[in-house]
Structure 1
Amino acid sequence: MSDDDLTTPSTPPASGAAASPPPTRSAVAPSGTPVPPADRPTPLSATDLPTLGPATGLPKKPTDDRPTNVVAGRINRGGSGPCYGLVTDDGRQYALHGPGMGNFVVGTTVLVTIGPADPAHDCGPGDAASIVRISPVG
């Protein structure tokens, strides 16, 4: 089949019928693989997964913004309050003060929203803070 056979219809259209557009010729790359026409996107491969390229640099801002006043950890000095001790997973110790926050047993995992420490209360060793909200996890 010649190149002319691809663009010229072999039989004339029936009278009154619209002629169909000639078939589009696809180019062939030097490697022998077909190249899609310029007006069509390159089809995705059925075997190769689409992947992202390497990062071009560090993010401009943190990608995991976390509030700095929320901590999670285990109660290590518990009871009915108003003083509690808390140790985070990274070993940071907090001395928390919060009247009326409830009874927390030693070992309870909690999520705590903290505020500035009340200098009138000393709740023991650790970074002093007041409890804004406290709730058990799980």
Structure 2
Amino acid sequence: MTHDRTPADHRTPTTDPPAGIRPPAPPGGASAPPGGPLNPPAGRPAPLSAALPPAPRRPAAPPRHPTDRRRPDRLAGRITRGGDGPCYGLVTDDGHEYALHGPGLGTVAAGSTVVVTVDPAAPPAACGPGTPVGVVRISVVR
């Protein structure tokens, strides 16, 4: 005889699927290890997708344009005409020569490698050969 509140075939609920039903297999047919991508460790959120992201493709050719964006107000190169200022000379790695003008920037030695923040809107001064630019800041790299 059974109790009126408990059916005779009452089972304790489990997380296992009913007999004869298999859970979906992970991608690739392999079983997922405990704590793997399909079964995160306790206290961790489940991943948004069980599928791995596609692998990046290898480029067919080198890029046509530089991939790193260069700030238009920055120059880097070697000081060719140094001193106490306000005029300096700079040659970049690509061989472009600049005539820098910046009062109050201090002494910069010839041969120093520098990064220069320029202000192309500043009125150009006669500081020798090269493209004239106004200097906002000079940072000696080495």
Instruction: Quickly name the TM-score band, shorter chain normalised.
Output: 0.5 to 0.7
Q: Residues 25 and 118 from structure 1, CA distance in 2 versus in 1: closer, same or farther, beyond 3 angstroms? A: same
Measured against aligned partners, the alpha-carbon deviations of 1:28-54 in whole angstroms (never above 9, x if no partner) come to xxxxxxxx64xx4446xxxxxx73135
Deviation at 1:102, TM superposition (A): 0.8
Structure 1 counterpart of 2:11: 17
Task: Tell me the number of residue pairs that the alignment of Structure 1 and Structure 2 aligns.
Answer: 107
TM-score, normalised on structure 2?
Answer: 0.59
Alignment of 1:87-102 (within 5 A): 87-102=91-106
AA at the equivalent of 1:101: L
Provide the rounded CA distance (Å) in 2 between the counterparts of 1:112 and 1:98.
11
Q: 1:115 aligns with which of 113, 119, 138?
A: 119
1:127 matches 2:131: yes
- The secondary structure found in structure 1 opposite 2:77 is strand
Provide the rounded CA distance (Å) in 2 between the counterparts of 1:90 and 1:24.
69
Structure 1 counterpart of 2:33: none
Deviation at 1:23, TM superposition (A): 5.0
Deviation at 1:55, TM superposition (A): 5.9
Structure 1 counterpart of 2:81: 77
- The secondary structure found in structure 2 opposite 1:52 is coil
> Sequence identity, in percent?
52
AA at the equivalent of 2:56: L
Provide the rounded CA distance (Å) in 1 between the counterparts of 2:102 and 2:20.
79
Deviation at 1:66, TM superposition (A): 2.1
Unaligned runs of 5+ in 2: 1-8, 31-53
AA at the equivalent of 2:11: A
AA at the equivalent of 2:71: P
Q: Residues 52 and 73 from structure 1, CA distance in 2 versus in 1: closer, same or farther, beyond 3 angstroms? A: same
Deviation at 1:16, TM superposition (A): 3.3
Provide the rounded CA distance (Å) in 1 between the counterparts of 2:98 and 2:21.
73
Provide the rounded CA distance (Å) in 1 between the counterparts of 2:70 and 2:19.
60
Alignment of 1:29-68 (within 5 A): 37=25, 40-42=26-28, 51-54=55-58, 63-68=67-72
